[in-house]
Amino acid sequence: MAATCVVGLQWGDEAKGKIVDLLTEQNDMVVRYQGGANAGHTVVFDGKKFKLSLIPSGIFRENVQCIVAGGVVLNPQNFLAEVDGLVAQGIACKNLILSDRAHVIMPWHFEEDRLMNRTTTGEDIGTTMRGIGPCYRDKVGRSWAIRLGDLYRESFPDRVRQICQAKNRILFSMDAEGGETRLDADKIIADYLGYAERLKPMVMDTTALLLDALADGKKLLLEGAQGALLDIDHGTFPYVTSSNSSGVGVCAGAGIPARVIERLVGIVKAYTTRVGGGPFPTEQDNEVGQHIRDEGNEYGTVTKRPRRCGWFDAVAARYTARLSGATELAVMLLDVLSKLPEIQICTEYEIDGVRTRHFPSHVDDLRKVKPIFITLPGWQQDITGMRTWEELPENARAYVRKIGELVGVPVKIVSVGPDRVQTIAVP
Ligand code: GDP
Ligand code: IMO
Ligand code: MG
């Protein structure tokens, strides 16, 4: 029994897609287990760039099964468009399997996302507007939830009609601008039955499938979406996503027991980024941040928003590595820092005059954080063509070693460019 997990340890976009694509070679199945089309995972090889949202990043290796498990919230229209897009680019998309337990994003979820983005703390969450939060809310609320398996039951049209009636009233009362959204139940039913028809060959009980696969000695690769600091329970609440996006969410989302997890690769950027609202202690809202944004092309894969950029936060990464049970780290986008003469790392927080390495549980305390930095010399050399640890400049190696030491987890992979081949194994 063996499962490897790939989990982002920051606020998402750590380049999980690249590592999942690489590790797929050593596995039989790749499983997306939480989140939805809020994710944007990039894979680059042979001069081609692919952006994935719901489809697991293992899709480029034909002998591997790609599974979207029950913890995912699935927008059938997005999913089918993604399949069509990949097929048009010559990717077969065979071996794709969807859980009948996955919850379905319905048209009302988009409206609710738009109307509930504002928090009572005054700052917007800045969601991706993909209906993620409202769909998970209905899942937990149960009464108005629709799972993929429900699309194939006789009761489906009647349930949509009932939910539409209730949602029409709710949406009307929520819209302070007096806008009126009328959900057209007949159109929704027709659209979703159409999607259901196309999806049918892929839909099955993936919990049973994965448990059988584990019993047969198959190797599973679990692909996290978002990052641990966006975890609904353990992240920077309320500026988080609506699923357990840290390592603790793997088992519930996929439907596998905890004891099968052998390896958990924590993915970090060599710096930190965040899209959307919420506190970000090491943010550099200045020329350093702009330099990182330019060098790293830090604009959202899904929403194209400029990502907020800052120095590596070892307090946050140590917290999420411990929470997630990281057995190793992959330090990504190291090349982005190559032109800087000096690089900073946050090693401690100061809150109300008290120094700590403890990541605060309340967002108000996180807002008060004064980051304590150490400064390391840069290497000011192009490293994108380097392929071995020994080739890297000593200052780059020292920087990577420092990250591993501060986080408390060994760094095993360093990435020096977006392409598959721009990857270095750390001895
Ligand atoms: P994910 O959501 O965690 O899969 O990450 P994204 O795909 O949203 O963002 C990572 C971005 O960095 C993508 O555009 C990747 O192609 C790119 N990338 C990945 N690794 C590297 C690297 O080592 N160097 C550089 N410069 N870009 C990288
Ligand atoms: P990947 O998998 C970065 C952020 C949004 C927002 C918050 C809530 O590509 O790393 P949501 O739409 O989920 O309700 O938005 O979470 N967010 C991400 N940020 N990468 C992602 O995914 C994200 N998915 C959601 O920007 O702040
Ligand atoms: Mg992304």
Does residue 303 have its Cβ closer than 6 Å to ligand 1? no
Chain mean position to CA 304 = 16
User: Active site includes 41?
Assistant: yes
Nearest protein CA to atom 17 of ligand 1, as residue: 418
pLDDT at 123: 84
**Which DSSP letter does residue 360 get?**
P
pLDDT at 305: 86
Cβ(56)–Cβ(98) under 8 Å?
no
- Any idea which ligand is nearest the CA of 278? 2
Kindly report the backbone phi and psi dihedral angles of residue 370, in degrees, each rounded to the nearest multiple of 5, phi listed first.
-105, 110
Distance, CA of 3 to CA of 1 (rounded, Å): 7
Q: How many CB atoms lie within 10 A of CB 123?
A: 15
Q: What is the pLDDT along the chain (427 residues), one digit of tens a residue?
A: 599 999 999 999 999 999 999 999 999 999 999 999 999 999 999 999 999 999 999 999 999 999 999 999 999 999 999 999 999 999 999 999 999 999 999 999 999 998 887 767 778 899 999 999 999 999 999 999 999 999 999 999 999 999 999 999 988 888 766 666 689 999 999 999 999 999 999 999 999 999 999 999 999 999 999 999 999 999 999 999 999 999 999 999 999 999 999 999 999 999 999 999 999 999 999 999 999 999 999 998 777 889 999 999 999 999 999 999 999 999 999 999 999 999 999 999 999 999 999 999 999 999 999 999 999 999 999 999 999 999 999 999 999 999 999 999 999 999 999 999 999 999 9
- Predicted structure pTM score: 0.97
Cβ(240)–Cβ(249) under 8 Å?
no
- Any idea which ligand is nearest the CA of 72? 2
Does residue 145 have its Cβ closer than 6 Å to ligand 1? no
Of the candidates 21, 41, 109, 313, the residue annotated as catalytic is: 41
For residue 42, give Cα distances in angstroms to 49, 54, 87, 95, 337: 7, 12, 17, 20, 20
Cα of 37 from ligand 3 centre, angstroms: 10
Q: What is the number of the ligand 1 atom nearest to the C-alpha of 42?
A: 7
Dump strand ranges (E) for 226-286: 261-269, 272-274
Burial code (b: 16+ CB inside 10 Å, e: under 16) for 388-405 equals: eeeebbeebbebbebbbe
Cα of 339 from ligand 3 centre, angstroms: 24
Residue 51's nearest CA partner among 18, 92, 96 is: 18
Nearest protein CA to atom 23 of ligand 2, as residue: 226
pLDDT in tens, 96-132: 999 999 999 999 999 999 888 776 777 889 999 999 9
Nearest protein CA to atom 21 of ligand 1, as residue: 418
pLDDT at 66: 98
The angle, 0 to 180 degrees and rounded to 10, between the axes of the packed helices 107-115 and 156-174 is 20
Q: Pocket around ligand 2: residues whose beta carbon is below 6 Å from it?
A: 8, 11-13, 38-41, 125-128, 130, 132-133, 225-227, 230, 241-242, 275-276, 301
Nearest protein CA to atom 20 of ligand 2, as residue: 12
User: Active site includes 138?
Assistant: no
Tally the C-alpha atoms within 13 A of residue 43's C-alpha that lie toward its C-beta.
19
